[in-house]
Structures are given as C-alpha cells and as structure tokens.
Amino acid sequence: MNPLHFVLALVVVCIWGFNFVAIRVGLNGIPPLLLVFARFFLTSIPAIFFIKRPNIPFRKVVIYGLVMFALQFSLLFIGIGLGVAPGLASLITQVQIFFSILLGAIFFNETPHRWQFIGCLISFIGLLVVAMHVEGTVSIEGFFCLVGAAFFWSAGNLLSKKMGKVNTLSLVIWSSFIAWPPLLLLSILFEGYDTILLTLSNLSLTAAGATLYITYFSTLLGYGLWSYLIHHMPLATISSFTILIPIVAILSSVIVLNEPLEWWKILAALLVISGLAINLFGKKLTSNLRKLSYTPKNVD
C-alpha cells in the first residue's frame, strides 16, 4: 500500500471518528434539525456553483439526498441530542451492517456467506449489551433514532451502489443542496421559528466551531479525501479502514467529553468491532489459509 494513501485513510478515519464529538458539542448550543440544516446548507453553498452535477439522472440525486443525508443525519443528530453518548452512538449506528446485508439480498440477490452471519451475530450480541442498558444510561428514544439512522445509512449505500461509478464529492455537494430545504422546513415546524432566532442570536463560538468542523472537515474534506482514495485504492482495502471509526469516536469522546467508559461499553465495543472485522475479513482469511495449506500432489 502506498504510504501516502495509508496516512490519508487514517486521517479520514480520525476526522469521521471525532465528528461524533463535534456533533455533541454543536448540539449543546444548536437544536438537532437546525444543526443538520446548517451542515448541508454550508456544504452545498457556495460549492454547488463551482462543482458540476454528478453524471446521473437528477432524480437519483434527489432520492439519495433525502435518504442518505436528510433522513439519516437528522435521526443521528436527534439520537445524540436525546442523550446517547457520541462514542456509544458510533457503535449503535454500526447496525447498518445488518440492514446492508438484508437489502443486498433483497435487491441484488446477494447470498450472505457464513462469515457474514457469524460476524453479524457477534455484532448483534454487542448491540444487545447496549440495549440492556436502555433507560439506564441510554435513552430508549435515542437508541431507536440511531437504529433508524443506521437503516437509512444502509439504504443510502444501496442507492449509491445502484448509481455505479460517480464522483463522490460532486454527489455529496449536490445531495446536500437537496437535503437542506426540507430540513429547514422541519426545523421551523418542530423546533420553532423563535427558537431558531434565539439560537442564532446567542450562538457561541464553540457551537459555531463545531458546525464548521462538521461541515468543512467531516463533510467536504472527509468525503473529498475518501473520493480520492476510492479512485486510487481497492474498494475492499479502503472499506476496511471504517472499522476504526468507532474506536476513534469512543476514545475522543472519553478524552474530550469525559464520557464514562463502563465495562459494558468496552464489552459492547469489542463485540461490535470484532463482528465487523469478521464480516470484512473472515471469508478472505479462510480462503488464504486454504491456499497456504493446500499441497499439490506429485505426478509421476
């Protein structure tokens, strides 16, 4: 692997892992829907005037923007806003792996291999450990919001796969432009016009900084680097780095926000991350071991 590509992949992982902390910080001064609106408004404006629209039918951009951005991230921000700690939120959203396998089987006739079942089972046990502490230290409403966010994440991945090869950064900017108008409307309806005005008039530097991080680091820089890496590295290789995101999120949440690191969180993290690793590498590792153990017979 090219050392530069390896470093850039780790940079993206750190940016996206720390993003969970930035969301929590931003939510301390900005309501969830308004914060999501701000993210995608600032992502698309003024970039949309300089970036060409993706070379796909516009309706696909619209659907992707509503599903992957408006629905997924509104539920993610609401879930964290309802009290789920950022590190824990990064674990819960990994339930998207179950939905992705299910949707792949339904729409692409993909047959899950046994390592996917084993990996999903182990990750699911980890999520059960989290669910057992719902209403203890985890909000039940926040938990299900994050599960919903994971579903729309996997649905967005499905839509992306149906699109084929497309410029990732262009898709992000144009989909963001689709996402922010309905998010602004929802913010006005549910959070209130007065709340929006009060938030803007009392916006702290910390909340503003978190919003800028979520927009320009996590979205534009993160997806920009990711788009570059996708075109210069095998997809299987670059995808394997995403397993590190919950680790970064948990550690940064503990360090920056003093998130308690109880034993059950450590256990849940180990189970979920182990399941993800088995899902990603189990089949390939088994295949490589079989090749190593295979000894051709001598032919006289």
Report pLDDT digits (tens) over 168-220: 889 999 999 999 999 999 999 999 999 999 999 999 999 999 999 999 999 88
Q: How many domains does the chain have?
A: 1
For residue 291, count CB atoms less than 10 angstroms from its CB and return exposed for 0-12, middle for 13-18, buried for 19 or more.
exposed
Give the sign of the dihedral formed by CA 30, CA 33, CA 38, CA 43. positive
DSSP assigned state of 2: -
| Domain contains 299 | no
List the structure tokens of 61: 């951009």
Which parts of the chain sit beneath pLDDT 50? Answer: none
AA identity, residue 241: F
Residue 253 CA to residue 290 CA, distance in Å, equals 41
The answer to whether the beta carbons of residues 18 and 249 sit under 8 Å apart is yes
The answer to whether the beta carbons of residues 70 and 182 sit under 8 Å apart is yes
| Domain contains 300 | no
| Domain contains 96 | yes
**What pLDDT score does 61 carry?**
94
Task: Say what the alpha-carbon torsion angle 222, 228, 232, 235 is, to the nearest 10 degrees.
Answer: 50
The answer to whether the beta carbons of residues 139 and 83 sit under 8 Å apart is yes
**What pLDDT score does 295 carry?**
52
Q: Is 138 left (phi over 0), alpha (psi -120 to 50) or beta?
A: beta
- Beta carbons within 8 Å of 97's beta carbon, 6+ residues apart: 119, 120, 123, 154, 275, 276, 279
| Domain contains 298 | no
Q: What is the pTM of this model?
A: 0.85
Tell me the residue range of the domain where 187 lies: 3-293
Residue 75 CA to residue 18 CA, distance in Å, equals 18
**What pLDDT score does 224 carry?**
82
Task: Say what the alpha-carbon torsion angle 90, 95, 101, 103 is, to the nearest 10 degrees.
Answer: -100
The answer to whether the beta carbons of residues 54 and 167 sit under 8 Å apart is yes
Helices (H), the chain: 3-27, 32-44, 58-64, 72-81, 86-92, 96-108, 114-131, 140-163, 168-186, 193-201, 205-212, 222-230, 235-240, 245-257, 263-293
**What pLDDT score does 235 carry?**
57
- Beta carbons within 8 Å of 291's beta carbon, 6+ residues apart: none
**What pLDDT score does 98 carry?**
77
